A and B are shown apart, each in its own frame.
Chain A
């Protein structure tokens, strides 16, 4: 009974990877964010995320991108902070374990720069977000580096006493570096 199941999973997995011509190399990629706390800048990151991206810098209008972030992998720089960030007032990971981003448009701005727009969903709240992206091709690797500015309160991140923006600022900058391997469709 177990063997056919494993086989089916492997086949499905193989089918899944062959559909996307480009694969995300997590070891070479990073997903970070910066916010202010008591007036000082604090850096954090997410270690776990998956992405289905199809992006040919020559054909940005055909670009497709879907990212899924495992919010349990949040790191804000300390054990106390990481435990707090997963609680109900912040990401409420028990109820909303994933955040998703789906690109809706990618416009070329020239010399490898693009303007990306998309939908970011955190805690069941979807917001239109956008930001600059720089694409650099080297060999079979395409590096996508960009940032997205968001307001944490727009996603109800930090409820109750934490809504106070003097303690933790409303502005959060998300910075990503996604390394794709392979050719786009």
Chain B
């Protein structure tokens, strides 16, 4: 399949990138907050929002991948060394993988623990597996491990973007933040 890759990310890709970034930050923060809380209606509320926003990340990640498949995404700056382009691509792939696998593990874990997810309290989602305490515990471990991995990858991804903008002074970050585009090129 040969196809010319677009020059820029389009508006939808930029909007989804930052929207999902904000959602991930929110979902992660919610988990950190409710994890140590004793059981209370407030905790149930936070857990529910964590689930609902996590499922939203899953849906938007699928949408992003679909649109990326249709429209394509710009290639990394060819002036960059091959190992950097390879590393960036690898991290992007892992980020997409985790944006899908992490919420899925959470959804599976909720099902295994016997709690159906009712999206925004309105849309009942199917239980992916039957109630199974041991499986629920295993999925919780997997969910948490993936969450910390995602945090590390996001930090790497953001650090690289800032490094390209501040130290290398190239267009890498400006592709996702159009207002940073420099007049001179």
Interface residues of chain A, those whose CB is within 8 Å of chain B, are: 37-43, 77-78, 80-81, 84, 161-162, 164, 166-168
Contact = CB atoms under 8 A, between A and B. Distances in A.
B41 A43 contact: no
Given A77-B131, A78-B113, A39 B41 contact: no
B121 interface: yes
Contacts of B42: 161
B39 A38 contact: no
A67 to B, nearest CB: 25
Interface in B25-62: 39-42, 44-45, 47-48
B137 to A, nearest CB: 10
A42 B113 CA distance: 10
A40 B117 contact: yes
A38 B40 contact: no
B114 interface: yes
Nearest to B44: A167
Nearest to B110: A40
B114 A77 contact: yes
B115 interface: yes
Contacts of B131: 43, 77
B22 interface: no
B113 to A, nearest CB: 6
A38 B114 contact: no
A38 B113 contact: no
Interface string B93-127: 00000000000000000000111111001101000
Contacts of B133: 78
Contacts of B40: 161-162
Contacts of B115: 37-38, 40, 42, 77
A77 B113 CA distance: 7
A37 B115 CA distance: 8
Nearest to A162: B41
Contacts of B41: 161-162, 164, 166-168
25 contacts: A37-B44, A38-B44, A38-B45, A38-B47, A38-B48, A38-B118, A39-B118, A39-B122, A42-B114, A43-B131, A77-B113, A77-B114, A78-B114, A78-B133, A80-B39, A81-B39, A161-B41, A162-B40, A162-B41, A166-B41, A166-B121, A167-B41, A167-B45, A168-B41, A168-B44
A174 B30 CA distance: 34
A40 B114 CA distance: 10
A84 B37 CA distance: 13
Contacts of B45: 38, 167
B120 to A, nearest CB: 9
Nearest to A44: B114
A80 B40 CA distance: 11
A84 B41 CA distance: 12
A116 to B, nearest CB: 28
Contacts of A41: 116
Contacts of A38: 44-45, 47-48, 115, 118, 121
Contacts of B44: 37-38, 167-168
